[in-house]
Structures are given as structure tokens and as C-alpha cells.
Chains A and B, each alone.
Chain A
Amino acid sequence: MHELPMAKAINEGLRTAMVANNKVMVMGEDIAQLGGVFRVTEGLQEQFGPNRIVDTPLAESGIVGTAIGLAMRGYRPVCEIQFDGFVYPAFDQIVTQLAKQTARHEGTQSFPVVIRIPYGGHIGAVEHHQESPEAYFAHTAGLRVISPATPNDAYWMIQEAIASDDPVIYLEPKSRYWHKGPVDDATPAQPMNRAVIAREGSDVTLVGHGAMVSMLHQVAEIAQSEGVSVEIVDLRSLSPLDYPTIEASVAKTQHLVVAQEAPSNASVGSEIAATMTEKAFYVMEAPVLRVSGFNTPFPPARLEGQYLPDVDRILDAIDRSLAY
């Protein structure tokens, strides 16, 4: 057990996976000498060489498309996309090719490709560097979509993603890269397709993923001081969504608020709201409420504090849910 920032925990997870299996390789822009713009791959090329830590030309479709070919050859490529807003040139290869190749091959060939995408706001960056594109991928059958909220999950889930024979979109909450947390490298975390109860409570269930989870903890502390007991579900997996865990929590609290940085329209939060309405209509005392980014482009960074859900907006949603 030791304390690591999330970026370093991912680095350690990659290193462990690469030692365990020499078919694991990492490819992306600026990942070799530089160690990636967030230094997630720092030091890996020195250890594993240029054939396993591969600096690519600046072409995202090229990165994912060649990773598909490498997977056919028996490799397990981990692609780094530099920022959330730069994944779209690779969107066609991800959606029409990677996601559908296993079915197209009728199971005779698997495609163990991981695509790491730093995502989300709260870093004050320029356009295309703060987005939350998870709904596009969760909407696409054939992809697993996961996002860790803690360094420990980051360490274990990247290894599980690499070990999976399915394509995995691994969303890294970049505002959490530099926050330290305990990493237990002896005891595996919960499986990556499971949600976890990050805090137990009895009055209202708050659901979130990635960087949102740490904000939900702040919300829970404040609510506690006001006499409201909050249970937090850390989704971890966005495809598949772990409904049994959400259902069990809602059965206890009868109130559900979903928080996400992404815009609400056709979002993961919307899917949870719709499904929980189907599954738990008579259990709930209030409609499922969503707290999301607005349905606008991500604004200039000086306005991100007003655009992204904050503690007060989530507390307000809790009040509305409990008062319903």
C-alpha cells in the first residue's frame, strides 16, 4: 500500500501489464521521450524500448486503425489519445471498425485494444481540452467504457482493461491526475464492470463517475452537516452500467440524483434516469434528477465554473429531490 497520484498509478499499472505480457504495447503522440503531455507514460520507453512504447505520427485515426491491425497480429495495443477533443479523427475507426470487428469475425479473432482518453474539465484549458465524450462510446455496442475515480481503481482498471479481450475505452479524469490516494498493489480492486458504493448513506443516492466522484464526496460532507445522509455510487463502468448496484442503493434511499460533467441530452445520466424509472418507479419518492453540463459547447475556460455542475448545484438537486 502506498500513496500515488492517479497519473503515476496508471503509469504503474501500464508497467505491470507490460512486464506480465510482452504483447502489450503503448502507442500515441508524444508518449515516448516526453512521456506523454500528462507524463502518464514517463520512463516506460527506457524500460521497454521503442517497439513497445511507440511514438506515432500525429494522426489519431492512424493510431487506432494500426492498433486494430496490430491486434490481428496478436498484440494488445494501448492507444493514448492526447485530449478528449482530439479523439474524433479516430471516431470512425473506433465505431465502424474496432467496436464491430469481433462480431464481424464471428468470434474467430478478438480485438484487445485499449484507448486511453484524458477527459473532463476543471483544468482551465482551451477549447477541445475539457470535454466529456463518454456518451458517444457508451452508445456504441462492442465497446466497454470505464472511468476510474481513484488512483487505486486507475491502477487496477488499466490492467483489467488490457487483459480484456474486448475493446475498452479507458477515460482518465485528467483533473484528478495529480491528486494522491492510496494504491494497494496486493489486493485487486472490484472488477472493472462493477459500480461501487463509495460512501454509505440512507437519504439520497448520488451517482457519478470519474472526477465527479470527488465532488460528490464534498457534497456528502456538507449534506451531512445539514442532517442529510448521502450514499455515493461510483459508476466506474459506463458500458455496461451496473444497474443492480444502483438499484440496491435506490431501494435504500428512494431518491436518486445523477451528476456528470457531460451535457445532459442523450447522456449516460439520461440513460440511468430512464432505466431506473423502468426498474424502480414504485420505489422512488421523487423523479430521478440530473445535474449536468449545459447543452452548449464547452464554454471558454473562465466560465467553466458556471458551466460544470458544482457542489451547490448538486446540493440544490438533493433539496429538490427530498422536497418532492
Chain B
Amino acid sequence: MPYTDSTLRLLGQDGILVKDDRVEKYHQAIEHLDEKDFREFFRVMTVVRRFDVEAGNLQRQGHMALWVPSIGQEAAQVGSAFASRPQDHIFPAYREHSVAYIRGLDLLDIIRMLRGVTNGGWDPKKTNNFHLYTLVLATQTLHATGYAMGIGYDGACSTGDLDKDEAVMVYFGDGASSEGDTNEALIFAQSYQTPQVFFLQNNHWAISVPVRVQSRTPLFERAAGFGLPSVQIDGNDVLMSYAATRLSMDAARSGQGPHFIEALTYRIGAHTTSDDPTKYRDDDELKFWQAHDPIDRFRSFLEGRGTESAFFENVAEEAEDYAADIRKRTLEIQDPPLEQIFRDVFTEDHTVMTQEWEWLKEYTQSFEEGA
């Protein structure tokens, strides 16, 4: 079964709030959210999904080397990202498009990276501490933990001021949970009691390998072995994702050490545009998760609260406009200058590399002179 008896949710599949003792404290964690917030959750999920579809189309039309879809995982990302605070640092893997959007990244920067004009794409200092995508699985878990160690050394957490105390959130997946780096990050995090949340999106597939090959133990239960409090949530419930992240991040920033969240969700699309999930995935499983779509569920919730249809129409229109704008700007992206091969490899002169750049300039110019 995709969900377990331990899976916590606030919003039932029917879009109606679940009330039971197990989730009481999570309901309290969303009490301060109002209709405006809920509409914003829905808007972002919808716009980013439309962006995702457009980016996939652009790749198919030859405008990108690769696209990494996140369709189906919007609730896990949108809830958790809205639960972070402005002073927090976010270390993504490479599929966190909704988180990027919420932290203020121009999503064209992701396209620039996957089009092959940059290996990075943005400056985390200018994107509300949303760090670069990391393509080598799980390496970012250690960067996040090191960053969180630094917050501790700086005394920038545990003062009791939730609006100032800093914390770190790192995103990774069920596949990355098997990497040594993830396990080492969990060990370092508990050793130094870092202000940090490990946010695991279990989308059930590491390319073609199902999560049962990664672990016979539910992944959130592994955290106990490292000494971290952990919880398994329904990752397609945006409210639960918000609530669990809010409580965990605020506990972490308040001196209660690292926390661990496993969000059960599903990669509706392929791993990347280079993948073909029909070769390894069961149709019934896909249908189950399509029936548990996070945006549909939240729309039911909003409709149940009386949100007027004009709102949904406006959001759909905005999503179309956003996609059209992305398409237009993707087609305008210029190739990087030749110098970028050498630029910023070192901060100071590296004589051997500098000579190669001098040589390449002369070599290139020799063709221009000959012409």
C-alpha cells in the first residue's frame, strides 16, 4: 500500500478536514492560515504545474537537453516551502520547482541550466536563500548540514525569536536516502544538533527502481536510528505538509535539533524526459495516484469553503500566461560566451588554465583573420 497506518493527513481525499487526536497539534499549526493563504497555495501549485508541462514541451521541441518534471509533487513542495521563514536556507535536489517559485526564483533560471547555458543559474543570496540545484544525489544533504552547523556556531538560532532564528531545510528523495552522504548528514546533524529539517519526498521511484528496493523499513522510521524525531505525512496534502514543516522547522530553530519528514507522494511523470516509465511501472499504480492528485484535492477543499469559480478561472488564466511567458523567454536565451569555459573556475590566476584561455582566444581569432 502506498500509504501506511502512520501516514498523517489533515485533508482527506474528499477535500474535507480530518479531525482526530493524532493530528490535533497539526491543526493548531495551520490555525493562522486564512483564505488568502489557501488561495495562494492553490495558485502556486497550479501555475507551477502548468510551467512544468510547458517546460516538458519545450524539451520535446529541442529547446532543452533535459527536463525534470515534478508533476504530482506540488503539495509536498508548496506546503513545506510556505512553512519556511524568510531567514531560512533551502537546499534543493533538482526537482523542487514549486519551492524555487515560492522562494522567488525566476523559473527561467532552471530552464537555462537544463538548456545548457549554465551549470548553476542563480545566486542564492538573491533568491531568498534558495540554493542551487544539485545533480549528484544527496551531496546537498551534507552542504545543508554544514550550513546548519555554521548557524549554530554563529549563535543565529535558539534565541527564542521565531522570526529571527535561522534554520535549514534540505530536500531529497527516496533514491537519495540510500546514498552514503544522506546517512552521514543525518549523523553529523545529530552530533552537532543542527537547526535543520530533512524533507524526504518519497515519490516511490528512483528512475526505474521502486522504493522497496531502497528500503524494507518505512523511510521515516530510519530517522529514529539516527536519533531524529520523524513523521510520515501524506505528501499530497498541502496543509499537512505545511503543518509538519512549520512545527519541525520551528522546533529545529528553537534548539530542539534536527527533524525528519517523509512526505509520501508520487512522480506522475517520468524521472526525466530521457526516461520511459511505461517500461517499468504498473498502470494501476499510476491510476491510484492520479486519483489522489494534490491539486484536485485542494480544489475540493476550497470549493467546500465556498471559493467562487471565478477564482479558479483566473488562476488557470494566470498559469497559461506564465507558461506563454516562459516559452517566449526560453526562445530568447542566448548561448553563453566562450569565456565561460574558463570563468570562475578559480578566484585567482591559475597559470596553466590562463594560458589555455589565451591560446583559445588566439586560435579562434586566427579563423576570423583568415576569413
Which residues from chain A sit less than 8 Å from chain B, CB to CB? 25, 51, 56-57, 59, 61-62, 64-75, 89, 92-93, 96-97, 100, 102-110, 141-142, 144, 164-166, 193, 239-243
Contact = CB atoms under 8 A, between A and B. Distances in A.
Interface in B129-149: 131-132, 134, 136, 139, 141-149
A73 to B, nearest CB: 3
B347 A165 contact: yes
B124 interface: yes
B316 interface: no
A68 B146 contact: yes
A107 B344 contact: yes
Contacts, number: 144
17 contacts: A57-B187, A61-B142, A61-B180, A61-B181, A62-B187, A65-B146, A69-B147, A70-B147, A72-B131, A89-B180, A103-B343, A104-B119, A105-B123, A106-B343, A193-B351, A241-B352, A243-B352
A66 B146 contact: yes
B123 A108 contact: yes
B216 interface: no
A109 B143 CA distance: 14
Contacts of A51: 153
Contacts of B188: 56-57, 59, 62, 66
Contacts of A64: 142
Contacts of A67: 146
B325 to A, nearest CB: 24
B144 to A, nearest CB: 6
B337 to A, nearest CB: 12
A274 B245 CA distance: 57
A108 B125 contact: yes
Contact of A73 (B123, B150, B180): B150
Interface in B328-352: 343-348, 350-352
Contacts of A25: 153
Contacts of A102: 344-347
Contacts of B351: 193, 240, 242-243
B348 A165 contact: yes
A104 B132 CA distance: 8
Contacts of B119: 100, 103-104
Nearest to A71: B146
Contacts of A109: 123-125
Contacts of A164: 347-348
B113 to A, nearest CB: 10
Contact of B139 (A71, A92, A106): A92
A73 B181 CA distance: 20
B266 to A, nearest CB: 29
B344 to A, nearest CB: 4
Nearest to A194: B351
Interface in B28-67: none
Interface string B176-189: 00001100110110
Given A62-B185, A104-B120, A110 B347 contact: yes
A165 B344 CA distance: 11
Nearest to B190: A57
Given A62-B184, A68-B142, A240-B351, 19 more contacts: A57-B191, A62-B145, A65-B139, A65-B143, A65-B181, A66-B185, A67-B146, A68-B143, A69-B147, A70-B146, A74-B150, A75-B150, A92-B139, A97-B136, A105-B132, A105-B344, A108-B124, A144-B350, A166-B346
